[in-house]
Structures are given as structure tokens and as C-alpha cells.
Structure 1
Amino acid sequence: MVICKPSQPFLQIRNSCKSSRPPSKDKVVVVLGATGTGKSRLSINLATRFHGEVVNADKIQVYEGLDVITNKITDEESCGVPHHLLGFMNPAADFTSTDFCDRASSALASVVERRRVPIIAGGSNSYIEALVDSKMHGFHSRYDCCYLWLDVSMPVLHQVISERVDVMVDKGMVEEARQYFNPNGDYSKGIRRAIGVPEFDYYFRVEAFADEETRTRLLQKAIYDVKINSCRLACRQLEKILRLRNDKGWNIYRLDATDALQKNAKESSKAWKELVLEPSMKIVNKFLTTPGPNIYTNKVPTLTAMAASIR
């Protein structure tokens, strides 16, 4: 459940007096994490408290349609927080990292112009990297960033992903995927790239000719493949975040949300507040009220150590 509370406006007031200091940059919060870790939840939590708006950085959620399969945030879950770059693209169109940089840069400028805090959230880390490194849009010269990373141990996250796929099936994932089935379709472009679409291709091809037992087996196999491919995506996303931090030197603050995702509903809400929300609010508040970039850092295990921990 997303916790909604009245926003506490944050306004960055520029000093119009002449000063020897360089002009201050606008502030951007970036929420990173693998699929299923709670990025949308945290971004909305922060937006409701810091007068923010969310800029979607998921390259599949930019497309219109497949709301269940792409796990788009609902109107109720958004708590009235404006979301940009969400569900606006033609499902058949191609949306590249260059397109994302152009659109996201415009969205950030719009949010800042209205004196709100932009919060970039999404799992397409290569798109976020492209935006931050973009010389064309001068990201580094315009913005200081606070990077928050929602981390969850892989065994727990894999279980969360599996359970989430089961919920998606109950919500109509199979019928949603059926709408995009095309025997001659291309699964390398547009929304049909989404995990949860190509996995059902063979099932849709043979279901009209197969007996009930075969249909059941193939359907379960397709659902299993969705789970496996989602878990593989999570691993790739984790590797990307670690590369951004360890190789590129991004100053990323790690928040361990493992306990918040594996406890029951009541305990989970308490753990989320204590382990994720409250530390995040302190970090973001300090970031927004202090001139300069993110001043926080914390030690993160290496890929080797993480791999050893899940054996």
C-alpha cells in the first residue's frame, strides 16, 4: 500500500544578489532498483512529502497499454502525484534512449519551472545513465542528483517477483498478452518487447488445436518463463546499478528493503517506514536544503560478495 500524506512544499529560492559563488543547480532525486523492489512506492512517498512529481524511467511503461503486464501505477496508487512519460507512446513505435533523454529533459525542466522537485524512478538504468551523461542536454551543468537505491536480497526478490506474476495472472495478464499476439509480429520493437508478451507466443499459436492437458501445461510453462525472465532482468538491473556505483563513481545511497518485502502486511509497513521511508526522507531533506550535490555515501558489497550470499 502506498502511504499518502499532504505534501510539504519545497521551494528552491535563487539568490538574486551578486555573489562569488557559482549559481546553484536545480535538484533531482533518482530512485534506482531492480524490478519489484518498490521504486514506485518510494517515489510517491517522497513526492507527497517534498512537493514532487515523478518522471518515469521505465522504457516499457512509456507505452500505452498492457497496464497489468507492465505493472503501471494506478490512479489510486499515485495519490494524486503527477507522473510524466507514463503510458503515452504508441505501442508499435520504437522508444530509444535518445528519445528518453529528449522527453525526460523537457519533463524535468517543466517540473523545475513549476518549482517542484523532479523524482526520476524506473528500472531502465541504461536510459537513466544516458540522461545523466547527456552533453546535448547539459544534465551535469543544470542539476545536482541524489541517488537512492532500493536493494533487496535476490532470494527474497525472486520470491516477490514470482508472487507478483501470480497476482498479474489473476488480474488478466494472459488476456492482455493475447491482445498483442500476432503470428508475424516482431517482439524486438515497441511494447511487444515487454516481459509477459513473447513468453505466451507458442501457447497462443497452439491452444486452438491442443487438448486441455496440453493447453494447461503450455500455459503454466509460459507463466513460469515470465517469472524466470523477470528474475533474470532483476539480476541484470542489479549488475548495472553496481557498475554505475563502482565503476562510474555515482554516489548512490543504498537502502536495504529486504525485510519490508518479506514480512506480513502489518510488519511490512512498519519495516518499510523504518528501513526505507524514514532514512530516505532524511537523505532527501538534507539534499534539498543543502547547496551542492548529494553528500551521502555508504558501503556496498561487491558483485562477488552478493553472488556468494545467494548460493
Structure 2
Amino acid sequence: MLEHGGNLRDAAQRFGAHDWLDLSTGINPHHYPAPTVAADAWHRLPEPDPALAAAAAAYYGAPLMLPVAGTQAAIQALPRLRAPSRVVVAAPSYAEHAHHWSGHGHTLRQVDYGELEGAVDDCDVLVVCNPNNPTGATVPPQQLLRWADTLAARGGWLVVDEAFGDTASSASICPHTGRPGLIVLRSVGKFFGLAGIRLGFVAAQPALLAQLADLLGPWTISGPAQQVALAALRDQPWQDAMCARLWAEGKRLGHLLAIHGINASGSALFQWWPEPEAERFWQHMAERGIWVRLFPHAARGIRLGLPPHESGWRRLDHALSEWKLIKS
């Protein structure tokens, strides 16, 4: 099993008990205030509520969406829906994509974002995170749609993971998922801060969604998760206010890092930079009870998310000041 952020038990085992400041996931620290769910949500089998898929389609602007148990469920299932294929996964990106496409008879290559244009003609499936996780890099929608058409003409797929796309909705290609071979993944966990309910959505043509639903089986989304997500997806005032807040805090985080000599980039929810002393920085922060995401291999960098409160911002500022002194 691959390592991911949010693994605070691992942090505590290695570095001891702290009042941990978890900046390792990029999940919105100001989560949607989940409403009280109906009592029967805990008792009844969770038959799919059509209102949830409709609310997701309206929110994401897609013709049709399938609820899944987090985008992870779709990431694991999609490689099983194709015959052995030539697959390109943009790199660096969320590691689970390459991990699962490397099996089931597929031939996998990981290609740098800047070289994807040249790889489209030499693959059957192209997988892109947009915005990218962990770097925040983006590919323009028109370029993605051109790639989708090229792949679809020979029966291929373009899979676009927009898990961090809520704060950049103009870059989404969800509205175009009625066309063949285009598959878009969306997450409720990141922007709404509801990672614990394990819910995501897949937008694609009806036939492909039907295949995916058959593979995943019944009762994939719990009753409480359906009710909480339905409220969140319909709450536009909260969405608009939170989007503005996250962009402001994202700029604040980038500015704070710049003050301490770190040239980072990213999204409204996280910042990333290639760090030559990545392991040393990660350990420095962990020893101060701040858990950041270390990328020790090909990407070799650090990603960190937004502090949840002012005391967290102060702790981060102080730890960065100490790091700057150590390096100077």
C-alpha cells in the first residue's frame, strides 16, 4: 500500500506525541458543517438517491455523474474495464494512478507534464491530474479536449483527475464528458473538507458509467454520506464564501513561504516546491509537531496545506524561521 498524507499515527510513532498540526493532505481545513442526518440513514441499506447524482451534475456542470466511494474507488476500478493497453500517466502526480494502471496487463509509462503532447499519439489511455497533485500545475481545457478527441478516435481514454478543481472551476472539462472516451474524477473530500465520508464522482458517457457501477457493486455510498453530501453540493452560499476564503489563504501561504526564501507554487489548497533537502526539512517540521508531505523520490519536494487556525499559522511561521536560520 502506498504512503499518503494524513497518516498522523505514523507521525506519532516516529516522532512522539504532539499536538500535531497536519498540513500533509491539502484538504480544506474548514470543513463543511455536516447537518444531522435522518435516523433511518443508520439503519436502512443505502440505496442510491438519484438526487445526489443530480446535485453533483449540477454542481460540477456534468451531463451525468456516478457517485463512488471516493475517487480512489474509481482509480482502482478503471484499469479493470479495459483490455491491456498502452497507458501514460503524467508525472509527477497522485501515485495511485500509476500504481493501479501498472497492473491488469497494461503497459505503463510515466511522462513529464511538459512532454505529454508528444505522448498522446503513442498511448491508448492518458491520465492527467488537473490541477496536478502535488505541484498544482494545470493543462488548459482546450488542450485536454484536443487530446481526448485524438484518443477517442482510436478507442482510447483521457482520464482527468480534478480532485483539487473546485477552486478553479473554469478549468474543468466536466461539461464535456458526454463525448466518447473522456472520464473526469471529482472529489467531495478536498474542497468540502469531508474526506471522512469517502465520496467522489465520475463523469463519463452513460455506457461507461454503467460498466463502472456494475464492477463496484451495490451500496457503495453510505446513507449518512449521501445526506451530508447532498446538503453540501446544494449550498451555493457556503461554496462561494469558501472559495474566496481559500484563495485568500492560499495566497497568504505562498507569501509566507516567500518571506522565508521558499519559491513555491500550487493551488488554493496547497503549496509545493522542489526541495533539495526535502528529508531534512520534513524532519525539521515533524520534530516541531508539523506534519508535511514529503516526496522523496522522482518529484523530490515538499507539499503543505493550509493551517486551520491562527495559532497554526504562527507555529508554521516560527518553524520556517528556524529552518531559514539553520540553512543560512
Q: TM-score range by the shorter chain?
A: under 0.3
Structure-1-length-normalised TM-score: 0.25
- TM-score of the two chains, using structure 2 as the length reference: 0.24
Q: Which structure: greater strand fraction?
A: 2
